[in-house]
Amino acid sequence: MLAARRRLDTVDERRLIWQLHQDGESQQAIAAAAGVSQAHVSRTLALVRDHLELLEETPLELTRRAAVGQLPRKEMLQRLRSWHWTFGQTHGDAWEPGSWDGMTQAVAEGTLTPDEYERVHAAAVRGRSAGR
């Protein structure tokens, strides 16, 4: 679960840097608060400006938080079962991922068990057929 913790640290750091930036803090002050260099803050802000979706919570993030003990598994499952899922699509030669793609990655990482996957999948199928 070390890999999951590292990925979560990256997400949390990006959110902290962005929030402090939004609060009007200087890059030097953000660097000191986050324990990173000013150059790292600058690179992170540039990345986030171009990809604000990096700040959004994802289903994969929920599974990782549960795996490292930051979120109860019961709450994770409840939130995943009620998620408004999107499903990947092919556009020409390109694959546009959906939020569901993270679930297969979560099983591969070991942050979601096959049984949990099946339970979430059943809820996603019901939601999709109900028009959610």
Whether the pLDDT of residue 45 is over 90: the answer is: yes
Q: What mean pLDDT is predicted for residues 98-120?
A: 95
> Residue 129 — pLDDT band, cuts 50, 70, 90?
low
According to the model, what pLDDT value does residue 126 have? 83
Query: What amino acid occupies position 16?
Result: L
Q: What mean pLDDT is predicted for residues 112-124?
A: 95
Q: Number of C-alpha atoms within 13 angstroms, CB side, residue 107? A: 13
